[in-house]
Structure 1
Amino acid sequence: MALIINGEQIDDENIEAEFRHIKGHYERTLQVACCERDPEFRGIAKDNLISRALLGQESRRRHPEVSEAEVTARLQKLIEEAGGEDQFYMNIGMPVKNEALIRDNVAGGVRLDKTLQEIYAPEPEPTEADLRACYEANLKHYMTDEEIQASHITKSLSGASSRQEIYHTMRDVRQQLLAGADFNKLAEEHRTAEQQQIDLGWFKRGEFMEEFETIAFSMGEGEISPVFTTQLGFHVCTVTGRRPSVARPFEEVKADVKNRFIEEYRDKKFNAFLEELKATAKIEDTDPEGTNCGH
């Protein structure tokens, strides 16, 4: 048994499941698969389980009994949010309905909600000065998206004898553009269909193909791109306008700022409360190092 928190044992399989969940998250986020950080991931997993156990214990101490009506109300809300009972059970990974077990788990959620409400109370009512300070401190979250306007010349592989032929054509087009040829005139001459857009208008990241955006957003206004490819064919593009990212006005985002202020307050209260629980808890870790690899 690797973890014992105030006498409550955490099974090895629970630690392993949490570890794999943490490791999987980082591998998806960072797009890496490596064992080097396994001790770190295992430490995070154990800390998560310790925190949950302590919160559960404190919630049961404060609220040993919760009413059936409260449990039913919370369960119904969870089912509605999941889009129905079948989807709810699928989401929690329970192939066979076990209402007693579910209600017991939901009761734990009710206790925790009550405990958190007590921890957070009374929540502050921020002043205008508080909100403006929060706005300034978190300005990066209230920026508009950078936008560019671009035009492009595209040739697909349809009807071409080879990729090399298209590449040489587009390279020649680029050389003409670099020598001062009119972009729109050349685009008209080389577009493969009448409905093919030359001016793409204004757009933000995430609205076009990633390969195209990577090139376009890295360019200065008036610059001619190198010849590059996407799934649509070969391209040359130019940026004709740029709107930089700027801060949205305070009044426009005031409601969001207030939500952030309250969330930051809750986070501080929650973390302080959790540290208090850890400071007085008896935590035994019989396998502090864990294994070096999660394979």
Structure 2
Amino acid sequence: MFAALMALIINGEQIDDEIIEAEFRHIKSHFERTLQVACCERDPEFRTMAKDNVASRVLLNQESRRRHPEVSEEEITARLNKLIDEAGGETQFYVNIGMPMKDASLVRENVAGGVRLDKTLQEIYAPEPEPTEAELRACYEANLKHYMTDEEIRASHITKGLQGATSRQEIYMAMRDIRSQLLAGADFAKLAEEHRNDEQQQIDLGWFKRGEFMEEFETIAFSMGEGEISPVFTTQLGFHVCTLTGRRPSVARPFDEVKEDVRNRFIEEYRDKKFNAFLEELKAKAKIEDTDPEGENCQH
């Protein structure tokens, strides 16, 4: 069941109900995908968010048209070619924008809107500041979590595949016996050598961070403490028992190493503040009429 149609009139421009409805669905699905509460009771909140998002875009487009009513064909072509290159070709570009059939005139009209918006944003951001060393260091300290190294661990493992075994149960029981010996104090390296399938099979996996090994293995290994013996577990390679032999915690990267990243963040934060202030100014001056302010019906 769909909600009652919603309508906005922004500075005299009536917004198609489906635009708001599509934004509503996008917001709701985002909350569902990220496993956040997205039940029917939150629909009025999502509708308010949808209307605000749409209103913001419309106001920006209106202001961009007011400031830059005309854009040259050369500017449109340059931006369009850049978008096509970034997409990896014209075919993929049309797939990305969700247009099943090529409509050059409609695409160029939309791209023209992008050109106008870019020009408008350049105007509201200018002049961009050149941060001092002190400002950059303050930004670095305030955003330290973004400049941390990846946690690393070192692990060793004993593994057995299914080759030559009569059943998975046979391998599992053998690995469980190995684990029992380890828990009783047996030397891990010595036991691993005894049960190594061949000389090429690694026992000591060295230092690694998340994303370098199979997820099933990393989930176990990163959850362990140094010296701990894991349960018997499986991956696509077979059955494993592992132990953690070292851990390097995540630490802050030196300021000089990330200085350029910090500068980019400083500029982005400056732009965000300018953009939000500009948008609030547009909203304050705008005439926004909501012909469906309640929106109480739930959508399933």
Shared fold (TM-score, shorter chain, > 0.5): yes
1:118 to partner: Cα distance: 0.9
C-alpha separation between the residues in 2 aligned to 1:153 and 1:291? 59
Q: Which sits farther off after the overlay, 129-138 or 208-217?
A: 208-217
C-alpha separation between the residues in 2 aligned to 1:85 and 1:166? 53
Query: Which of 1, 14, 17 is equivalent to 1:12?
Result: 17
Q: Does 1:155 align with 2:160?
A: yes
C-alpha separation between the residues in 2 aligned to 1:53 and 1:256? 32
Corresponding residue number in structure 2 for 1:55: 60
- Give deviations 1:46-75, integer Å, cap 9, x for gaps: 221111001001111111122222222212
Corresponding residue number in structure 2 for 1:245: 250
- Pairwise CA RMSD of aligned residues? 2.0
Q: Secondary structure at the match of 2:211?
A: coil
Corresponding residue number in structure 2 for 1:263: 268
User: TM-score when scaled to structure 1?
Assistant: 0.93
Contact 1:20 1:294 in 2 (8 A): no
Q: Which sits farther off after the overlay, 30-39 or 221-230?
A: 30-39
1:9 to partner: Cα distance: 1.5
Corresponding residue number in structure 2 for 1:128: 133
Structure 2 unmatched ranges of 5 or more: 1-5
Identity within the alignment, %:
86
Corresponding residue number in structure 2 for 1:272: 277
C-alpha separation between the residues in 1 aligned to 2:221 and 2:107? 52
1:191 to partner: Cα distance: 3.0
Change (3 A) 1:26 1:226: same
Q: Secondary structure at the match of 2:93?
A: helix
Size of the alignment, in residue pairs? Answer: 295
C-alpha separation between the residues in 2 aligned to 1:87 and 1:51? 28
C-alpha separation between the residues in 1 aligned to 2:196 and 2:164? 13
**Residue correspondence of structure 1 range 20-169 to structure 2 within 5 A:** 20-30=25-35, 34-169=39-174
Q: Secondary structure at the match of 2:34?
A: helix
Q: Secondary structure at the match of 1:65?
A: coil
1:34 to partner: Cα distance: 4.8
C-alpha separation between the residues in 1 aligned to 2:80 and 2:54? 23
Change (3 A) 1:157 1:251: same
Corresponding residue number in structure 1 for 2:3: none
Q: Secondary structure at the match of 2:217?
A: helix
Q: Which sits farther off after the overlay, 39-48 or 169-178?
A: 39-48
Contact 1:153 1:190 in 2 (8 A): yes
Q: Which sits farther off after the overlay, 28-37 or 157-166?
A: 28-37
User: TM-score when scaled to structure 2?
Assistant: 0.91
Contact 1:144 1:247 in 2 (8 A): yes
Change (3 A) 1:28 1:182: same
Corresponding residue number in structure 2 for 1:217: 222
C-alpha separation between the residues in 2 aligned to 1:45 and 1:106? 23
Structure 1 unmatched ranges of 5 or more: none
1:86 to partner: Cα distance: 2.3
